[in-house]
Amino acid sequence: MAGWLRRTFADPQIDVHLLVDEGEIVIDEVRHHWMAFWRPALEALVAVTVFVVFLVSSVQVGWLPLLVSLGFGVHACWLALVEHMDRFVITNMRVFRIRGVMSRRLATMPISRILDITVEKPLLGRLLDFGHFVFESAAQEQGLRDIRYVGSPDVRDLTIQRVVQRSGLRRSVSHEP
């Protein structure tokens, strides 16, 4: 039972979305950088702090800090699970993003439709090695426009550029005179 729950609610199951019979393989599976978990960590800290207040509060009102602490703790766990289940996958044929805990959302973009990738690195991202991808494609609206909290964004960008290059969508620059 615990294995089923973990597979269902804590594993995004990337493999079931691959076109294995077409030769699709995963080049990189991008999990969120640890910085994406700042809000769940902050809420967990609030939960622990309020729980300490519960331990020293009077019996008459002790239930209130306990309920607040449980509320913050459960919400922090939920936020962490949502971040954990949000994955960006680079394959030899496409890029896709799968996210969701109870229900799943899958957004796919073939390599051939990627027109431009902007890598945004705020100051904190430059210091901690994370950034955000902004995809431009031939479509006006897509589910892959913003991918936030990507660890090692420059390396991931080069990986995507290599996949595009190897797919034959861009010509190599010849160094012949």
**Do 10 and 54 have their domain in common?**
no
* Position 174 in a domain: no
**Residue 148 to residue 132: CA distance in whole angstroms:** 4
* Structural domain span for residue 76: 39-80
* Position 50 in a domain: yes
Averaged pLDDT for residues 35-63: 91
The angle that helices 63-84 and 38-56 make with each other, rounded to 10 degrees, is 160
**Do 75 and 94 have their domain in common?**
no
**Residue 54 to residue 82: CA distance in whole angstroms:** 28
**Do 104 and 149 have their domain in common?**
yes
**Do 50 and 112 have their domain in common?**
no
* Single pTM value for the model: 0.82
Residue 9 pLDDT: 67
Residue 176 predicted with pLDDT over 60: no
Strands of 20-93, DSSP E: 26-30, 87-91
Residue 139 predicted with pLDDT over 80: no
Residue 5 pLDDT: 57
* Position 157 in a domain: yes
How many domains is the chain built from?
2
In sequence order, what are the beta bridge partners of 33?
A: none
Give tens-digit pLDDT for 159-172.
999 998 888 766 55
**Do 69 and 135 have their domain in common?**
no
**Residue 124 to residue 33: CA distance in whole angstroms:** 12
* Position 93 in a domain: yes
Residue 115 phi, psi (nearest 5): -95, -40
Please compute, for residue 56, the number of CA atoms within 13 A of its CA located in the half-sphere on the CB side: 5
Give tens-digit pLDDT for 97-125.
999 988 889 999 998 888 889 999 999 99
CB-CB contact of 87 with 97 (8 Å): yes
